[in-house]
Structure 1
């Protein structure tokens, strides 16, 4: 029996997991920073509205991996108001339409990690992951060689996504950076 077929090996995660309980591992919430400091270079915000934002994941599983988050710093789906929940899911729908148009993905993984043990890298601020997938891609979490092949820079992809956002006529953002 092939041990690699029965297990998902992600050795690159162990150092990160072991560092989670140290005081220095609790940096400022980057989503709250984006909310408080709109327009700073390098944020790669696709949409920032009155209740939510869509940002590019700086550590993507695949090209086009986006995060959709409420502006309010809340940890759990049960903490969201009905309006916040509706808005976040509407933006998730918009993000999928955006990725369809800009990248032509064949499928998607869409999900939420609640709690550190569930894989949440930012457990205090709930966010939805939308991960574009293509037939024949390397799987949700590449483990061979600790390498992911991301074929496009964040800056170029950001520009392409903003163009597609406008072409789709999606809600106007308060600011995009």
Structure 2
């Protein structure tokens, strides 16, 4: 029996499709065993999607970003609540957040940012057990119909490529 494209794609219904097969890893539970923020620093920067490392905290790409360039600033120590951080950790999370904003402006030219920490699952924290600061670049017109209608976001660049560009622009200790 010979199959044609219509048989494989289903019956036309007037809707377009945006295929995002990379999301199956998330749906299937990949990267949900253990704490990904504790695991990432033990990987190479490329494999862990780490943009920068400090003494007490690090910056990595969000695997499921709201926007291109969505970064997370995490302390190395596995703590859930902002009040559990010591002074050095608070200072470095703040410093890395500021640097992330500066680098994103230089590399991607966003019009603004959303910054935030969701403290606890009830507040929206997907990984509530390990504190992380979101740094989400925003552009005028970046919110369109896709998230509302299709519950999908269109990202213009692969995470690894964004990580490479941001890491290359990150200032060194002497900068």
Q: Is 1:32 aligned to residue 24 of structure 2?
A: no
CA spacing shift, 1:96–1:40, aligned 2, 3 Å = closer
Greater relative contact order (Cα 8 A, min sep 6): structure 1 or 2? 1
Answer whether contact 1:94 1:170 (CA < 8 A) is retained: no
CA spacing shift, 1:26–1:138, aligned 2, 3 Å = closer
Q: TM-score, normalised by structure 2?
A: 0.76
Structure 1, unmatched stretches of 5+, are: 1-18, 20-24, 173-177
Matching of residues 1-177 of structure 1 within 5 Å:
27-35=33-41, 37-39=42-44, 41-138=46-143, 142-165=147-170, 169-171=171-173
Q: Secondary structure at the match of 2:135?
A: strand
**Distance in 2 (alpha carbons) for counterparts of 1:99 and 1:41:** 18
Structure 2, unmatched stretches of 5+, are: 1-26
Q: Which has the larger radius of gyration?
A: 2
Across the aligned residues of Structure 1 and Structure 2, the Cα RMSD in angstroms comes to: 2.1
Q: TM-score, normalised by structure 1?
A: 0.76
* Larger mean Cα displacement after TM superposition, 100-109 or 38-47: 38-47
Answer whether contact 2:56 2:76 (CA < 8 A) is retained: yes
Aligned residues: 144
**Distance in 1 (alpha carbons) for counterparts of 2:167 and 2:54:** 14
1:14-47 Cα distance to aligned partner (Å, 9 max, x none): xxxxx9xxxxx96210010113x13175311001
CA spacing shift, 1:41–1:87, aligned 2, 3 Å = closer
